[in-house]
Amino acid sequence: MKALDDVSFSIEQGEVILIVGSSGSGKSTLLNMIGLLDSPTNGDIFIDEINTTALNDNQISSFRNKKLGFIFQFSNLLSDLSVLENILLPIQIAGTNSTTEKDAIDLLKSVGLEDQMHKRANKISGGQAQRVAIARGLINKPSIVLADEPTGNLDSVTSEIIVDLMKSMAKKLNQTFIIVTHDRKHFGNVDKVITIKDGKAFQGEEPSTMEITV
Amino acid sequence: MKLAKRMLFNKRGSLYGAILAVTIGILVIHVNFVIFQGLYDAIVRDITEYRNGDVRVTDEDDYIDKSDSSIISWFERISYVEAAAPRLSSTAEMEITKNGKLIEKTRIPVVGVDPFKDIRASTVHETVTEGTYVFSRNSIVLGNTVANDLGGAVVGDNVKVMIIDRWGEEQTKRFTVSGIAKSPGGQGFDYSAVMHIDTLRDMTDRTDQTGSIMVKLNDPSKAFEVKEFFLLSFPNGDFLAETIEESAEQQLAGFRSGIAMINMIGYFGMMSSAFAVVTIQMMLVNGKTREIGVMRAIGAKRKDILIIFIFQGMLIGAIGAGVGTATGLGYTFYAKETKMSFNNSLPLEVTYNLEKIIQTALASFILAIIASLYPSYRATKLLPVEAMRSG
């Protein structure tokens, strides 16, 4: 059985894309493939006109670091590091000086957590941790930010805050977000909705709308 | 590196466990060294000080015919030589009578010494725990064991000594016990009797002969040079000159093998501590699976993960080597200051062997890194999605 079959769609810079679908429909698999955390058994994934399936492990790591930002369901901050250090981690992995600590603090201000920057990551609330994860996902100015069920572990009030934050950051930074969720209602209006059903992708809320090919 | 440090230091239990493992590995080596090398060196020290000197001169024909005074004078002109003294050995039968009644009779080795020269070249006189050293030609010092064998001979007792001279004739003489000698560990003359060398010469009819000359140096490291110089200066004599390592070779050879084996056991102990580090590092990797997955997801290469855990191994090795060496040196210091001995045996000759200390610390540091290789490699093999899920 194929988790994803003949999935093809394009995304424009600065768009917020929602990938929806029922549990087990293959939406997380799709996100993992776009994020180069998983590879397709057949076919290619092009990001920024680069065929990512042809990259070796080191190149994939560099690509993930420079071109992609990740927001996970459980925020996945490193508990050994402070909030600020978590945000700086992708820069340190990249080993570049193009982004400074000041940029990280500015991002923290954007997500409203500048007063928490020296706290250990495991000492902040779930909602705060997810905001830190958003800042971490944005620090390297990636081409795409991939969010896998970013509100899946949050209550509805906090979920609204996180969704609003992602949308405002997308607008402010002209940043592309691809968000996977099974809970459509928190997200309101977005630029595009892709529905995954039985491993196939359809643009729009219903499978009957339109199939996207590029 | 900061992350590696934090990851390690936040797992205090594992960190302490790993450091303890390395520390114990090093401590075993240090304790082994202090005890067994200390024992070996103590035996060498006592043989040097009581019997052979730093250089020992004998003759191929068993006895030196040349005047002992002239040889001793020759030696004492060398700046490295502190003193030299003649020795003559034989075997005697000894009996003690009290109130005309024979108490005990025993057969023992006897050593003839020149009391005035001997107290400069040897420390045997310091082993006389009761009475005094040989002070006249008819005084005798009994070893503690001999005194016991003679039914508890004490200072002032009269003993009869029978010696077979060079012609096979029995020579008898009475002596007054001037002292009882007892050395820690029994390396001195505890099983012998010590008398004036001239008395022994008379009794054995070896008036102008000497068994050996022990030479004490103020710098024992010059023993080989002094020996070579002596042999070069007396090319026509039948002299044999040996450094302490050569003259005590028979007594020390077996011991050296024992030390080598003990060292091997010590290094096996260190290997065991390396296995403990492997286990603890594996626990650290397993405990950080989710973090490894996250780091890989946000762009860390396999090499980066490898470096984190190898760096942790280096930290464990460095801290463990530091703590282990400090603990080992502490033990060495304690053993040296307290003149450590076991069951009132000879006090260990404790030395600080810088080369050995560095070698041990370095070996444990390298072993800790090697022990980290496999866990680090395992960490690099984790797939991001799987790691985040399982963590």
- Is residue A38 within 8 Å of residue A31, measured between CB atoms? no
Domain ranges (residues) in chain B: 2-45+252-390, 61-237
For residue B380, what is the nearest residue in chain A, using CA coordinates? A57
CB contact under 8 A, A78 and B298: no
- Structural domains in chain A, CATH included, are 16-78+142-203 (3.40.50.300)
From chain A residues 107-136, the ones with a CB under 8 A of any chain B CB are 136
- What is the rounded CA–CA span in Å between residue B380 and residue B241? 64
* DSSP per-residue codes, B2-65: HHHHHHHHT-HHHHHHHHHHHHHHHHHHHHHIIIIIHHHHHHHHHIIIIIIBSEEEEETTSSB-
pLDDT in tens, A118-139: 999 889 988 889 889 888 988 8
Instruction: Check B298 against A66: CB less than 8 A apart.
Output: no
Q: Name the one residue in this structure whose structure tokens are 């945000």.
A: A87
Q: Which residue of A has its CA nearest to B391?
A: A76
* Series of mean pLDDT values for 10-residue runs along chain B (391 residues): 70 84 92 90 91 93 90 94 95 84 82 94 93 92 92 90 92 94 88 95 93 95 94 87 89 85 87 90 88 90 90 92 95 93 84 92 93 92 84 59
Q: Searching chain A, which residue's CA lies closest to the CA of residue B381? A: A57
Q: What's the ipTM?
A: 0.86
Sheet containing strand A200-203, edge to edge, reads A68-71, A144-148, A176-181, A16-20, A192-197, A200-203
Distance between CA atoms of residues A187 and A28, nearest Å: 17
For residue A207, name the pLDDT band (cuts at 50, 70, 90): very low
- The sign of the CA dihedral A60, A66, A67, A71 is positive
Span A31-41, average pLDDT: 85
pTM of the model: 0.77
Gap from A210 CA to chain B (nearest CA, Å): 31
Å from B8 to nearest chain A CA? 9
Task: Determine the pLDDT at residue A205.
Answer: 64
The two structure tokens encoding residue B249: 């070779």
Asked if B299 and A79 come within 8 Å (Cβ–Cβ), the reply is: no
Query: CA dist A59 to A64, B335, B383, Å?
Result: 9, 58, 15
Residue pair A77/A135 in contact (Cβ under 8 Å)? The answer is no
Which one of A30, A32, A33, A37 makes the best mutation probe of the B interface by having the most chain B beta carbons within 10 Å?
A37
Among chain B residues, the shortest Cα distance to A85 is held by B3
Distance from CA of A137 to the nearest CA of B (A): 8
Q: Are B91 and B110 a contacting pair, CB within 8 Å?
A: yes
Q: What is the pLDDT of residue A25?
A: 78
* pLDDT for A209: 37
Residues 6+ apart with CB under 8 A from B245: B44, B252
B88/B285 Cα distance (integer angstroms): 71
